[in-house]
Amino acid sequence: MSDVFGQKVESLEELRSIGGEPGKLAANKVINFLDDNCERFISHSPFLTIATASHSGSDVSPRGDQPGFVKVIDKKHLLIPERPGNKRMDSLLNILENPNVGLLFLVPGREESLRINGKASIVKEEGLLKDCEAFGNIPSLGIGVEVVECFIHCGKALKRSHLFKQDYWPNTEKLPSAAKMLADHAKLESNSVSKTLRESYSQRLY
């Protein structure tokens, strides 16, 4: 690994000596199933991130739709519909190799988040996917997750970032557009990329 970061922590003992030990609440908050509280949180959530990994590296990808788009099947299983994307399928390719996933659910206006770690599989069962229909479109695939760990995460990160408070949002006038960034990275013409993005957003959400 690169030495650009200088001194690094190399052991559990050193990490604990700096970061400390978790308190009783943090140490005992993890459950291995979806209780009523977790189900209600998921039913209100329009957005999550999913972390996956393969032998070549790791990946975090967003998923979003109407609140409750993730379906709780039972106390141990949930289903995330796979809406149309760019066909890279990074998360799905990783899941084929490594089923371990981490989910982070957000609810707008709520600073705490819900974390779920589990084992994932790629679902093509029509009966289950039909329940994920949106605007007349049934997804061809979904990500099924068997819950291994589930816990609420405190709101300190969102409090510090003021994520849901518009008065604190940064000025984005000098931020390059997504089309420009994509065009620069892919070495394509910006107007063409911009048109592709507009068509994708307006015609291929579902």
For 51-109, write each residue's pLDDT tens digit.
999 999 999 999 999 999 999 999 999 999 999 999 999 999 999 999 999 999 999 99
Percent of the chain with pLDDT over 90: 98
Question: Is residue 3 a part of any domain in this protein?
Answer: no
Are residues 78 and 23 both part of a single domain? yes
Q: Give the pLDDT band of residue 182 (cuts 50, 70, 90).
A: very high
Question: Is residue 121 a part of any domain in this protein?
Answer: yes
Percent of the chain with pLDDT over 70: 100
Are residues 56 and 144 both part of a single domain? yes
Report the distance separating Cα 2 and Cα 48, nearest Å.
31
Residue 105's contacts (CB-CB under 8 Å, 6 or more residues apart) are 41, 42, 45, 47, 48, 70, 113, 114, 115, 116
Are residues 175 and 145 both part of a single domain? no
Are residues 34 and 96 both part of a single domain? yes
Are residues 47 and 134 both part of a single domain? yes
Are residues 85 and 26 both part of a single domain? yes
Q: Give the pLDDT band of residue 1 (cuts 50, 70, 90).
A: low
Are residues 178 and 105 both part of a single domain? no
Question: Is residue 205 a part of any domain in this protein?
Answer: yes
Q: What is the CATH number of the domain that holds 23?
A: 2.30.110.10
Q: Give the pLDDT band of residue 120 (cuts 50, 70, 90).
A: very high
Is residue 28 over pLDDT 80?
yes
pTM above 0.85, yes or no: yes
Are residues 35 and 135 both part of a single domain? yes
Q: How many domains does the chain have?
A: 2
Are residues 119 and 206 both part of a single domain? no
Long-range contacts of 91-96 (CB under 8 A, 24+ apart): 91/50, 91/52, 91/59, 91/61, 91/143, 92/122, 92/141, 92/143, 93/54, 94/52, 94/53, 94/54, 94/58, 94/59, 95/52, 95/120, 95/121, 95/122, 95/143, 96/122
Question: Is residue 12 a part of any domain in this protein?
Answer: no
Question: Is residue 9 a part of any domain in this protein?
Answer: no
Is residue 169 over pLDDT 70?
yes
Are residues 144 and 52 both part of a single domain? yes
Are residues 106 and 177 both part of a single domain? no
Question: Is residue 28 a part of any domain in this protein?
Answer: yes
Report the distance separating Cα 29 and Cα 40, nearest Å.
17
Give the residue carrying structure tokens 């659910």. 105
Q: Which domain holds residue 26?
A: 19-161
Q: Per residue in 5-23, pLDDT tens?
A: 999 999 999 999 999 999 9
Question: Is residue 114 a part of any domain in this protein?
Answer: yes
pLDDT for the residue numbered 124: 98
Question: Is residue 2 a part of any domain in this protein?
Answer: no
Are residues 88 and 107 both part of a single domain? yes
Q: Give the pLDDT band of residue 3 (cuts 50, 70, 90).
A: confident
